[in-house]
Amino acid sequence: MDGNPNLIDQINSYFRSREERLNLVCPPQFIKGGEPAKNDWGLVESIWSLLNKYGMCRHSYVIIIGGGASLDLVGFAASTAHRGVRLIRFPTTTLSQGDGGVGVKNGVNFFGKKNWVGTFSVPDAVVNDFTFLHSLPKNQKRAGYVEAIKVALIRDRSFFEFIEENADSLAKFDEKVLEQVIRKSAALHLDHIASSGDPFEKGSARPLDFGHWVAHKLEQISSFKIGHGDAVAIGLSVDLTYAAHVGLVKQKTTDRILNLLEKLEFPLYNDLLFKISDQGKRVILEGLEEFREHLGGELTITLIQGIGEGIEVHAMDQSVIIKAVDDLQKLHLSLKNTS
């Protein structure tokens, strides 16, 4: 709201001018945003209470304006009320406009695990309004870049090269280039969901979650202090370094991608990658089984064998993962000492 101080007035004015066709049943309601909000089951119940209070039904619409966590939370509440109240999303961050907001998933965190409770429900409309992006703080503007890089790495080499060629402009948040990247990222994510044959993830593969088995675990063990964009950047760094170690991709390709992430000011490493469990094992490795459990079936991890060439693997050598983390720590220290 800080960057859109007139938003409430604009919403009310919009509905007043169309009151013969649209009935705004209650004033716009505020909820907490950010990933920690998805840990609060009370927020789901408060949304249900509003839907019940105002007699919302399956022909009613819930309109949510917010970032990815808000879309997840409100989408879950709407999709479970009456087995599904219609939903319109207005994503307001680069992450949600380029990735999460254009999907079919909703969820909240439970048992300390990301999106453990959730639904698949197709929104009735998604409106990407780029004016919402203009007032974002730099870290939130930057966050969407990493999902664009991710989808380019598994699907579209030319898009990766476009991001690489325009890295300086993106680092300066040039609005024209930023919008081009978010628009293309959204299109590629949507195309995969619509054309992959598995939009509701009945199988064990989830290519769009390249780099996410590490990311989800890092978010969890940091109590969500590490944002999703930074967590995915670190997750990609681990998986890319691993892929180079096992010979799937050339080391120079991994270095090229890590250089782009670093140029866009994403972290490649976090000390939590070294966190040890009570059983004396690396906590981050628990993310593999949790990822398999979340998808169901056999473990399926997406890696790359070249830029734009995703590949699925069904096992990862944990000792090589540790080597990859060690390499990233050394790289982190080297970059820190030269900065």
Phi, psi of 313 (to 5 degrees): -125, 155
Contact residues for 254 (Cβ-Cβ < 8 A; gap 6+): 240, 241, 243, 244
How is residue 66 written in tokens?
A: 């917010």
pLDDT of residue 339: 66
According to DSSP H, which parts of the chain are helical?
7-16, 41-53, 68-80, 94-98, 138-155, 157-165, 167-171, 175-195, 212-221, 228-245, 251-263, 286-295, 318-338
pLDDT of residue 251: 97
pLDDT higher than threshold 70 for residue 3: no
pLDDT digits (tens, 9 = 90+) for 27-72: 999 988 888 899 999 999 999 999 999 999 999 999 999 999 999 9
Q: Which DSSP letter does residue 34 get?
A: S
**Any idea which fold 138-338 has?**
Dehydroquinate synthase-like, alpha domain (1.20.1090)
**Any idea which fold 7-133 has?**
Rossmann fold (3.40.50)
* Helix, strand, coil fractions of the chain, as percent rounded to 5: 55, 10, 30
Per-residue confidence band for 230, with pLDDT thresholds at 50, 70 and 90: very high
Share of the chain above pLDDT 90, in %: 78
242 neighbors 320 (Cβ within 8 angstroms): yes
pLDDT of residue 297: 83
pTM beyond 0.85: yes
What are the CA-CA distances from residue 83 to residues 120, 136, 301 (Å)?
Answer: 12, 34, 32
| Average pLDDT of every residue of the chain | 93
pLDDT (mean) for 147-169: 97
Q: What whole-number distance in Å separates Cα of residue 57 and Cα of residue 276?
A: 49
Parse the chain into domains and list their residue ranges: 7-133, 138-338
What are the CA-CA distances from residue 322 to residues 24, 258, 306, 326 (Å)?
Answer: 54, 18, 22, 6
pLDDT of residue 296: 81
pLDDT of residue 201: 75
pLDDT (mean) for 277-283: 90
pLDDT higher than threshold 70 for residue 9: yes
Buried b (16+ CB within 10 A) or exposed e, 228-241: bbbbbbbbbbbbbb
Per-residue confidence band for 193, with pLDDT thresholds at 50, 70 and 90: confident
pLDDT digits (tens, 9 = 90+) for 64-105: 999 999 999 999 999 999 999 999 999 999 999 999 889 899
Closest CA to 170 of 98, 263, 259: 263
Buried b (16+ CB within 10 A) or exposed e, 306-337: ebbebeeeeebeeeebbebbebbbebbeeeee
pLDDT higher than threshold 60 for residue 1: no
Q: Which amino acid is at 239?
A: D
pLDDT (mean) for 294-305: 89
Q: What whole-number distance in Å separates Cα of residue 321 and Cα of residue 283?
A: 12
Per-residue confidence band for 199, with pLDDT thresholds at 50, 70 and 90: confident
pLDDT of residue 338: 79
